Amino acid sequence: MKIRYQFRCYPTEAQKTILSQTFGCSRYVYNWGLNLRINAFKEGQKINFGKSSAALTQLKKTPEACWLKDVSCIPLQQALRHLDVAYINFFKKRASFPSFKKKHGKQSAEFTKSGFKFNREDGNRSLQLSKIGKLNIKWSRGFKSDPTTVTITKRPSGQYFVSLCLDETKKQMLKTNQSVGVDLGISHLATLSNGEKIENPKHIAAQKKRLGRAQRVLSRRVKGSGRRNRQRLRVAKIQQKTADSRKDFLNKLTTNLVRRFDIICIEDLNAKGMVKNRKLSKSISDASFGAFKIMLESKAKMYGREIRVVNRFFPSSKTCSDCGHIVESLPLQIRQWECPACGQSHDRDINAAKNILAAGRVVTAQGGNRRQVKASALKCNSRRTVNAQIVKCA
């Protein structure tokens, strides 16, 4: 299976200059290709990758764009391929319409096998890119296969990273015969059906004061000045630290869950819809429910675990995990509640996690699609059947 490993690299000043040119040429070709397709569509024509690649060859011969020959041609071709993939994702409604790339922000360039040399001699690894040379890379982890593609990236903070795409087979983890339901939240990022609660680190709040001060200083700097550019890097480094700490925490959390449990049941949360709540949007974005789900699913696939996703309309919080009774309303501020039918006292999050686990078992027992639970099964006229199944599986 395809696996990506990312490593920090430290290019020389001469390499930084060449990389800056490569990033600029790749960005220019991507924007040029996007503009070419938009104009062709207005004229009733269609342009695919083959036609745009042929037009790029002619573009390099013109005096206005002859400087594109100064860098490797492979990142330029890959920019057009990425544009083609962006169009495919747009027409299949997997993404929005492609947008023009900007000079300020994340910059990247991709090299295929013909554009780099990877050597492994006596345990030492080296990577050499076309027209850039050998890079100083901090190899922080080991791998056995050779990369198929190499992507070098420059972050807004000025850090350089190399991403290697590898074909590797991961060893399957030993079975633990354990299942768990996971309820995601804000005060506690994850609550497990066994009663465990994982606190939310709240990464944005940790850097809020420092980031606010740096952004106020940036707003007073004159646009285009050197002082503004240096302050912009300071702001970017603070934001990058927040993103890195969040990613590190989610990686450790998802790895821990995959190691401990064979079956993990989660809710199919609508993260894009939830961030529209003006009062909770920042907290929900900081918790990164979508990133948690993506990491968990990818690691489960890698190590042979099973993820069962329960429908987002399943009333996990309002359903009693003991008797299956569903209360009419349960506001967010109520964290402890007592079932009016059986009198059992519940912690809101732990009760929801138990119901998510039970619902995941019910879907499998019925032989249905594990990623969806029919909404009709959750309506009032079908509550008794669903509740009985949940109680039986619990």
Among all residues, which ones are annotated catalytic?
Answer: 183, 267, 349
Of 69, 78, 90, the residue nearest 27 (C-alpha): 78
CA–CA separation, 155 vs 50, rounded Å?
31
Query: How large is the angle between the packed helices 49-60 and 13-42, nearest 10 degrees?
Result: 120
Q: Residue 3: enclosing H or E segment and its boundaries? A: strand 2-9
Residues written for the chain: 394
Q: Which residues pair with 197 in a beta bridge?
A: 191
Q: Which residues pair with 160 in a beta bridge?
A: 9, 154
Q: What is the DSSP string of 210-254?
A: HHHHHHHHHHHSPTT-HHHHHHHHHHHHHHHHHHHHHHHHHHHHH
CA–CA separation, 294 vs 305, rounded Å?
14
